[in-house]
Structure formats: C-alpha cells, structure tokens
Amino acid sequence: MLTENNGEISQVRASAFGTLLHVVVLQQVEKLEDFKDRFRRFGCINLPKEKITEEWPSWYSRWVVAQTFTAMALEAFYFDYIQANASPTQAKKKRTPPERFSYICNDLLGVDQVDTKSCLCKLEKLNMTRNHWVHNKSATFEEYEKVKAFFSPDECISLIVNVLSIIADNDPDCILARETLIVLTQVQSNVDMALNELTT
C-alpha cells in the first residue's frame, strides 16, 4: 500500500500488485503491436484462427496471461486494502476474490450493491476463467467445460479500471487506486491513439 505525506508518495507494505499489473499491461502493448502488424498486412479481412496463430503465435495466449494476471493483481489489491482498512484477520479470512470486492464495497465503503453489480458480474466471470486456467483438468470432450468469458487484454485493463474507479471514488485516501488509475487510463489512451492512427 502507498501513503502520501506532504505530496510525497511512499510505499509502506510490500506487494506484488505492481509486478502483476505490469504483466497485464505488457499483454495489451504486445497485442497492439501484433494488431498493427495484422492490420498493415491484411487490413480488415477476417482471418481464420489458424492463420492468426500461424502469423502471431502469442495472439491467443496473451488473453490467457492477461486474464490470469488480472485476477492475481486484483487479489493482491483486495488483500492489501482489507488489511489496511479492516484488519489482518479480515484480510486472511477465506473469501473468493469477488467476495473480497463485495466486502470492500459493501462493508468498508458502504457502496450500494446496485452501483457495483455490473462490475461484480464481470469479476465473477473472471474468477471462473482464472480458475479454469489455473486448475485446468482434462475431461472427456462432452464433459470438458470451456471458458465462460474470454477477456481480451483490453477488457482486462478496463475491468481493473472499473474496480479501482469504484474504490477511488468512494475512498479518496486510497492512493494506490488513484495512481494506478492514472497509469492505466494513459495506457488506454495510448492504445486508442495508436488504433486511430492506423485508420486515418
């Protein structure tokens, strides 16, 4: 977690949040580079999955990495936030990541559930997707469960922005949420600018 004293921000607890988030941002940046290459070479032609995998071998794996690391980054954030704003006991209490988000919003911040419902629904899908990748087990073709929501790196960053916006809007003292939002909003803006340049 971060604290601010006389305009100076310092870190008071060690956390993997920044490292995990960095991996998600890298997936977005690398996906953008692949997309630019794809657009320059093939324009708006709809390519089959096999061709995409042949030309850009990491195209689909970036989705898996972004999803998994988004879930991990949010878990790190929730743990630190609960520990700092409730107690170490509450932070260690067994909860799913969506339950941790709900606990922060409802119990610690007093946010109306209606205001978090859409975000919570996405977090539940992300949690199922993350569990699918992390705890993947083989099964017969008929019984194998496919991923329910295949979040792209862009969607992963948007989801993190959504979560941190809710926290920052309701807890202006959460410097980590505020500062991370600044960085991620800039990442989104850079991607939008690069995509606009392609089409003009």
Q: Which two tokens stand for residue 192?
A: 């939008």
Of residues 11 and 110, which shows the higher confidence score?
110
Per-residue pLDDT for 15 more than 80?
no
* Structural domains of the chain, count: 1
Mean pLDDT, rounded, for 80-98: 95
Question: Using CA atoms, how far apart are residues 59 and 53, in angstroms rounded to an integer?
Answer: 7
Q: Band of the pLDDT at 5, cuts 50, 70, 90?
A: low
**133 touches 163 (CB < 8 A):** no
21 and 66 Cβ atoms separated by less than 8 Å? no
Spatial CB neighbours of 175, under 8 Å, sequence gap ≥ 6: 1, 2, 3, 4, 9
Tell me the one-letter amino acid at 96. T
Answer with the residue of higher pLDDT: 5 or 16: 16
What residues make up the domain containing 122? Answer: 2-199
- Please tell me the distance from the alpha carbon of residue 67 to that of residue 132, in angstroms, as a whole number: 11
User: Does the pLDDT of residue 139 top 60, yes or no?
Assistant: no
Separation CA 13–CA 34 (nearest Å): 36
pLDDT of residue 136: 74
Lowest model confidence (mean pLDDT) among 33-37, 120-124, 126-130: 126-130
Please name the residues in contact with 49: beta carbons below 8 A apart, sequence gap of 6 or more: 60
